[in-house]
Copies of this chain bind each other. A is one copy, B any other.
């Protein structure tokens, strides 16, 4: 699972019916050290994330899981599944 920062929205009127009524957010992937990791991607939202939130998103076939039972009808390969509160990382010995 990947860490990212919500930085915007993507709008598409003409789209696959499975995507109707779902929010598509622009997410900047981050390293867990806070550094940028590649360029922004578009991801569906399932947790009411907003611009400025730090989120966990999944990619590939798992991205359709939050839309169950209709999930085989949702054409997504990136979905936000949590808003991160904290990453705890004890000092290594």
Contact = CB atoms under 8 A, between A and B. Distances in A.
Interface residues of A, number: 65
Q: A3, A15, A73 — which one has the most chain B CB atoms within 10 A of its CB? A: A15
Q: Is the interface of A mostly helix, strand, loop or mixed?
A: mixed
A72 B61 CA distance: 10
Number of copies: 5
A92 B19 contact: no
A1 B68 contact: no
B56 A77 contact: no
Interface of A: 1-3, 7-16, 18-19, 24, 26, 31-33, 35, 37, 39-44, 46-48, 51-52, 56, 58-66, 68, 71-79, 81-90, 92-93
